Structures are given as C-alpha cells and as structure tokens.
Chain A
C-alpha cells in the first residue's frame, strides 16, 4: 500500500507568479483535502475534492483552485502569489465519508 506523495518537496517563487502543487492519494482513497500550514501554526483547510468535484472550501480566495483526476490524484494551483502564501502545503487523502485523513510530507513554498 503506497502512502500519500507530494511534489515538489520545495519551491521558490516570486510574488505575482503562479504555482502548481501535486498530490497522489493513498491507494484506495477517493477524497483529497488540501491544507496550508504557515510557520508556527496549525493547518488551515483550503478545500476538498471528491469525484473530481470540489466538496467543500475553507476561507481562501478564488486564486486558490484545484483539480482532482480520475485516478484520484490532485493538484493545487495558486495564482498571483503573495508573500503570505509562503507556507507548507499539505495534501491528505481519505475515504469518502471519513474524517480519518492520511497526510503527505508536504510542499514547502517560499514566495519572495
């Protein structure tokens, strides 16, 4: 059974640029959630995808968008990057209807 994987591990972008982060779900999991974890804070829920549709969204602006593919992998896209977007971005997979989530190692995004 493969766990949740994320790529890239680290990324440095300039303010105003766009970024795409990728996530592969744990085998058998059909739901993906994305979280932003700023330094020294707990994760903040961005959104969740189930069956390729957004299934809930936290308090993040529309420039944060996502996709889920038929194989349940997912992308997080952030447009018009701001300095405050610098954070660890975590992807978690789960089975539909379950709060039990399994996390990937995260992508550390630095915006300069």
Chain B
C-alpha cells in the first residue's frame, strides 16, 4: 500500500527567503502526486499536481514541485516566501483504487518577519 512521508513537521523560514518542503512516497506503480495548502480553520486548496509529462510542475502562488521517480520524491519549492504563505502544506499520492488520496502528516510553514 502507498504511504507518504513529509519529513519535516515544521519549517521556519525568513520572509523573502526560499523554502523547500519535502515529500517522499512509497509506491511500486505509477502514481499521481499532489500538494495541497490548508490555511488556519479552512479546508484544503489544491496547489499543484503531477499526473504525467514534465517532472517540474508549477502551481498557484509561485510554488513549484519536482517529481523524482528514482528518489520517489515530490518536493515543493518557492523561491521567495511571503507572510501570507503561512499555512500547513500536505502532500498526497493516489491510492490503490477508487481514486482515493493517501496523505502525509503535513508540514507547517512558519514565516519569520
């Protein structure tokens, strides 16, 4: 069964600095990969997705992620963060069946002024 590991529970970073949020998955089959953002007391919003094609995918709010099949990773990056990026970020991978998503535990992005 697939699983998702988000290696950092919290990532503090200064405003305007770059950030990388790490995500690794375990799967022996083709997968679809997603990053979602959850602002405080809100639902989940899709940031970006990898379904096929180019391994570098661009999403909303200046985020991008790179699919690395050999390392089974899908790390999320942003070259310059803003205070408004303060949120929790979840990585998800397609499940075995029925189009369910398997989720990581989340990474809290903390922006320091």
Chain A positions within 8 Å of B, measured between CB atoms, are 4, 6, 31, 33, 40-45, 48, 55-56, 58, 90, 92, 94, 97-106
Q: Is the Cβ of A42 less than 8 Å from the Cβ of B103?
A: yes
Which residues of chain B come closer than 8 Å to A31, judged between CB atoms? Answer: 99
B98 contacts which of A56, A92, A106 (Cβ < 8 Å)?
A56
Task: Give the residue name and chain of the B residue nearest to A88 (CB).
Answer: B43
Interface size, chain B (Cβ < 8 Å): 25
**What is the bound-complex CA distance between A106 and B97, given in angstroms?**
24
Smallest CB separation, B101 vs chain A (Å)? 7
Q: Is the Cβ of A90 less than 8 Å from the Cβ of B44?
A: yes
Known: A90-B43, A99-B94, A105-B43. A42 touches B100 (CB 8 A): no
Is B42 an interface residue, CB under 8 A from the partner?
A: yes
Smallest CB separation, B51 vs chain A (Å)? 8
Q: Is the Cβ of B34 less than 8 Å from the Cβ of A99?
A: yes
Task: Give the residue name and chain of the B residue nearest to A105 (CB).
Answer: B43
Q: Is the Cβ of A55 less than 8 Å from the Cβ of B98?
A: yes
